[in-house]
Amino acid sequence: MTASSEPISSHVECLDYLPRLPRDRSPGIGCVGAGFIMADCHLVAYRQAGFNPVAIAARRREQADAVACRHAIPHVYSDYRELLANPAVEVVDIAVPPDVQIEVVREVVRHASHVRGVLAQKPLGVNFAEAREIVRLCRDAGITLAVNQNMRYDQSVRACKSLLQRGDLGEPVLATIDMRAIPHWMPWQERQGWMTLRIMSIHHLDTLRLWFGNPERVFASVRPDPRTRFAHADGICLYILEFANGLRAMTCDDVWAGPAKEGAAPDIGIRWRVEGTTGMARGTIGWPSYPDRTPSTLDYTTIASPTWHQPRWPEVWFPDAFVGPMAQLLCALEEGSCPEISGEDNLHTMALVDACYRSAAEHRVVEPAEIWNGGGVPN
């Protein structure tokens, strides 16, 4: 460590890097799906926070039974419709593939009058048009809809947002996210015909929206990942966002990351950087090291305090940050307010993703307004 670095953990106390929790953690949560993201992320985080999962359903009953036993969930079903009939379920937590999600939402609004809230997975459907229909279904039924854009609750992402809100960095000038990581693609992705933009890039696009608001336009360029065998266009994805105030943001989502799986030495990681007129922040995302607990990091410096401040924390994105999406929904239900990641807000992220697809397909700059006005892009 150099003399110009200052790894003082007390800096963490000044940053708003953890989610706000509800006072009432008793509403019954019904879990639809029993795969990795539910079993190893959602439910682990919920138990840590003292939330109340009361039921779980999955097509493979034995898988649901195993997850229920692991997390002490009293009611188990092989059909999620049976779960929806349980009056103890006030909030439905949906963790199914995106092309299945809208049907689950339709069943919720059709049959579960006692359900007050839905936490839907990202992506919110297979495209913007479907996401807008999910939002309409919940709005018309009087159900509060939140979206599980969980990277918003990565600790370094929230800490950077805190710096921006405090004004430490001044006016943002340039932001970058550089991902060199090899995701584990799920079997259901093969039937979608798309890959990185709606599964990985959506995290980064949503994070940039959290930090800076909605961009005016985007230019995207994509190519297939040579390792992934099923048909897709959006493997390796590059995109530039232009904001009205002059800010530019650029991202490289490289899911190839070189021939690391084929025998070359790996260089895996996610790094981000925000440069402002009075300060600069840089960070890493610890997720690629999962299941090892590797906290994300933040370093920042300002004109007023020209040293590298390096706050650190013990929490990690997977699974600790998964408290956040459910917490903000429970807070909204408790207070009668709008969730931080409401369905309406997430439509802007979905439109931006579809704008990236259109930009890459047509080799031009695209405004998200085109997607709002035109109903989206083909799957």
Specify the pLDDT at position 147: 98
CA atoms of 154 and 188, how far apart (whole Å): 26
Kindly tell me the number of DSSP H helices and DSSP E strands found in the chain: 12, 15
Strands 248-254 vs 28-32: parallel, antiparallel or unpaired: unpaired
CATH domain 28-151 topology: Rossmann fold (3.40.50)
pLDDT score, position 379: 44
| CA separation for the pair 143, 331 (Å, rounded) | 14
- What is the domain partition of the chain in residue ranges? 28-151, 155-315+348-362
Classify 272 as helix, strand or coil.
Answer: strand
* pLDDT, tens digit only, all 379 positions of the chain: 333 444 445 456 689 999 999 999 999 999 999 999 999 999 999 999 999 999 999 999 999 999 999 999 999 999 999 999 999 999 999 999 999 999 999 999 998 899 999 999 999 999 999 999 999 999 999 999 999 999 999 999 999 999 999 999 999 999 999 999 999 998 898 999 999 999 999 999 999 999 999 999 999 999 999 999 999 999 999 999 999 999 999 999 999 999 999 999 999 999 999 999 999 999 999 999 999 999 999 999 999 999 999 999 999 999 999 999 999 999 999 999 999 999 999 999 999 999 999 999 999 999 999 999 985 554 4
CA 297-299-302 angle, 5° bins: 155
For residue 8, the model assigns a pLDDT of 43
pLDDT at 7: 46
pTM of the entire predicted model: 0.95
Phi and psi at 124, nearest 5°, equal -80, 70
Q: Which fold has domain 155-315+348-362?
A: Dihydrodipicolinate Reductase; domain 2 (3.30.360)
pLDDT at residue 111, rounded to an integer: 87
Our CA angle for 314, 267, 218, nearest 5°, is 85
Say yes or no: do domains 28-151 and 155-315+348-362 share a fold. no
CA of 68: how far to CAs of 31, 39, 44, 102, 174, in Å? 10, 9, 12, 24, 46
